[in-house]
Amino acid sequence: MKILNIHGYRGSSDNSAYHALLPLGAEIISPQMDYDKQSPDEILLFLNNLWQKHNCQAIVGTSLGGFYAALLSIKHHAKTVLINPCLLPFLLLPQIEESQNTLLFDYLRLFADISKVDKNQILVIIGEQDEVISTHDFTQNLLGKSRCICVPNGKHGGWTLPLEQIFQQHKEWLFQAA
């Protein structure tokens, strides 16, 4: 089993999700990306090529990486775990970084496909005390609350979430062919 792990905005390929996935025994493909240096289309193309090159079977995306993971899930019908996903980057990125304004229309255009996500292929982990992403209600309404695991004291950082435990509990589902 090969899992594509997509980090968040200004995050690291060596993130909490990567370390929580290691005990599963899967091969983890975890690229380092600079979301400020490439357009959303270029990033999506890069991730799609990486998916195909490594013949991945599942996706894990954190924060902004969750946006790209959801889009890849649609394209590849893959089991996908979204961790504190930023599914509305055109709303949230301007609050973090003003220079992202030139990319907002690209994110908005790509967002049009989010509604095509197969809810049965998605598992969402949400920190209820997330201090960065304010749109988790939207995510829960879009994907269904039954697809969401809410961690009462969890914050935005993956280290505040019991990721290893959740991955172990859902290993059979994650490794099951789509």
C-alpha to C-alpha distance for 154 and 17, rounded to whole angstroms: 14
pLDDT beneath 70, residues of the chain: 97-102, 177-178
pLDDT of 100 reads: 53
pTM, to two decimals: 0.94
Predicted confidence at residue 101, as pLDDT, reads: 59
Q: How far is the first Cα of the chain from the last one, in angstroms, to the nearest whole number?
A: 12
Q: Order of strands, edge to edge, in the sheet holding 27-29?
A: 27-29, 2-6, 58-62, 79-83, 122-127, 148-151
Delineate the domains of the chain, giving CATH numbers in brackets. Answer: 2-175 (3.40.50.1820)
Q: What is the pLDDT of residue 29?
A: 98
Q: What is the pLDDT of residue 171?
A: 94
pLDDT at 177: 66
pLDDT at 105: 84
